[in-house]
Amino acid sequence: MFRKILALVVLVVLAACKVQAQEVTKDTIPPTPPPVVIDSTLRIINLNPYITLHVDSVLSYQLAINKDETKYYWYLKNSPVGLKINKDNGTLTFKAEKSFFMSGKLKYDVEYSVKLGVQNLADPKDRVDTSFTLVFYSTDIIMPKVKPSVAGTLVVDEGEMVSFKVQCEAGNFPIEDILFASNIPIHDFKMVKQCDDDFVWTPPFDFVKETDSAKVKILNLSFIGSSRFKVRDTAYVRIVVKDALNYPQAKKEYDLVVSNIKVYVNQLKYSFLMIDKGLRKTKSTRTTFDLTSASAALSGTILSTAGGESSQTAGKILPSVGVALVPVKEATAPNKNVEQNQASLIRNSIKRLNYMLFDYALIGEKDPAIVTKTNKLKDELKQSQMQLIDVPLEIANNMSEAELNDYFENPKVNKKYRLKK
């Protein structure tokens, strides 16, 4: 027991000696304080570079700088409608009212870059300019709409152009793509891919078939718009296409008939010219024989009254000579009654065809009676050709149309074939 107490005392003494050996003598020189770094650059110390704000909410944001704020003033540039800042203490305030968005002054999900600055009142160079982004959002669900610029149903004729604009009404997110579909395959149309594109299509003249009821065909168009989040809206346009006349084709057919009539009339005029010249030549020959016969008879009468015997003999012979010339005249230049009738018939046909061309001329850009007029001209041409089927037609290779018209309208020729009362 005594040994344990002695050992404990020895340990306590050794510990006390060790503590005294570790004591440090205090330094008499005072310590140097750490240097203080002065921040001389003007900075905004609490600016959030990206601010999102819900509609109908209120923003109150106190900005701070690293210097005495009483010596500085705050300002904004190109700020959105309603955003303000206190120039003395830098407090940003904003109340996002729905009226701003309804009027179009503000838009959802659009990043507005707001320029912000603070400047020393005494030193214009002591300033800082920065910016932050402000975005407005809404939890209201507004669906985008596809709205064509025409009513639900259009009624058009074949060959009439259909044109309208496909517009969009933006919701929370605008429509980015538009798909097109129709119940009947169509061709040669202008595709609509985005908002404000034009749909242009002209129904072909064979679009409406003979088997379609009421001579109409109904075309249903679908315009499917989708946003970036695949929110879709579909607009429908109903086009009623009515059967219509293929006017360009009908005009070509009319022009072809008119051209054929004019060519046929020129052939008739040349045939008339040749027949009339033959009649004039025959008439001239017969007139020569008649004058010769009359001269012989007159000479015989004169000589028979003369005093000489030979003259009286000649006077008796000459009338017989004049009579003998009559059969020679008939044999040489007989009357051409058939040719005369042909010339009159040709002339009447020419007059009639020219009158028909004038009477059935087209009126306006699109004459609704073009088919009727074309058929009438065809019938008249066919009738004239049937009447003159036995008349040989000549081709005027060496005469122009103007020369033929001059001969046909010659006053002497008109007088010759004028109807007598």
CATH code assigned at 189:
2.60.40.10
Q: 216-272: per-residue pLDDT in tens?
A: 999 999 999 998 888 889 999 999 999 888 888 888 999 999 988 888 888 887 777
Closest C-alpha to 234, from 181, 278, 189, 283: 181
Do 206 and 184 belong to one domain?
yes
How far is C-alpha 139 from the geometric centre of its chain's CA atoms? 43
User: Could you give the number of structural domains in the chain?
Assistant: 3
Which helix (H) or strand (E) is 102 found in, with range? helix 98-102
Token pair 């030979």: residue: 310
CA pair distance 161, 202, nearest whole angstrom: 4
Residue 285 lies in a domain: yes
Question: What are the distances in angstroms from CA 398 to CA 144, 211, 270, 271, 289?
Answer: 77, 54, 10, 13, 33
Do 337 and 227 belong to one domain?
no
Do 209 and 336 belong to one domain?
no
**Average pLDDT for runs of 10 along the chain of length 421:** 63 59 55 63 88 84 88 89 89 84 83 91 89 85 88 88 91 86 91 92 88 88 90 92 86 90 82 69 60 58 58 55 54 56 78 88 86 90 81 61 65 59 45
Closest C-alpha to 96, from 44, 63, 140, 143: 140
- Angle between helical axes of 247-304 and 370-387 (0-180°, round to 10): 30
Give residues with Cβ within 8 angstroms of 414, minimum separation 6. none
User: Parallel, antiparallel, or unpaired: how do β-strands 162-169 and 145-148 relate?
Assistant: antiparallel
Collapsing DSSP to helix, strand or coil, 244 comes out as coil
Which of 220, 244, 268 is at the close of a domain? 244
**pLDDT computed for residue 396 by the predictor:** 53
C-beta atoms surrounding 30 within 10 Å: 6
Residue 162 lies in a domain: yes
Do 314 and 378 belong to one domain?
yes
Do 266 and 408 belong to one domain?
yes
Which of 137, 155, 178 is at the close of a domain? 137
**pLDDT computed for residue 166 by the predictor:** 93
Q: Is the dihedral of CA 173, 175, 177, 180 positive or negative?
A: positive
Residue 420 per-residue DSSP state: P
User: Parallel, antiparallel, or unpaired: how do β-strands 232-242 and 72-77 relate?
Assistant: unpaired
**pLDDT computed for residue 42 by the predictor:** 86
CA pair distance 318, 323, nearest whole angstrom: 9
- Angle between helical axes of 337-359 and 247-304 (0-180°, round to 10): 150
**What is the span of the domain harbouring residue 174?**
145-244
Give residues with Cβ within 8 angstroms of 398, minimum separation 6. none
Do 115 and 160 belong to one domain?
no
Residue 82 lies in a domain: yes
Burial classification of residue 250, based on how many CB atoms lie within 10 Å of its CB (0-12 exposed, 13-18 middle, 19 or more buried): middle
Collapsing DSSP to helix, strand or coil, 242 comes out as strand
Do 265 and 238 belong to one domain?
no
**pLDDT computed for residue 399 by the predictor:** 61
**pLDDT computed for residue 307 by the predictor:** 55
Q: 181-197: per-residue pLDDT in tens?
A: 999 999 889 999 999 99
Burial classification of residue 403, based on how many CB atoms lie within 10 Å of its CB (0-12 exposed, 13-18 middle, 19 or more buried): middle
CA pair distance 360, 370, nearest whole angstrom: 9
Residue 273 lies in a domain: yes
Residue 61 lies in a domain: yes
Do 266 and 234 belong to one domain?
no
Give residues with Cβ within 8 angstroms of 29, minimum separation 6. none
- DSSP output for 157-176: ETT--EEEEEEEE--SS---
**pLDDT computed for residue 29 by the predictor:** 65
Do 238 and 259 belong to one domain?
no
Q: Which two tokens stand for residue 239?
A: 């086009």
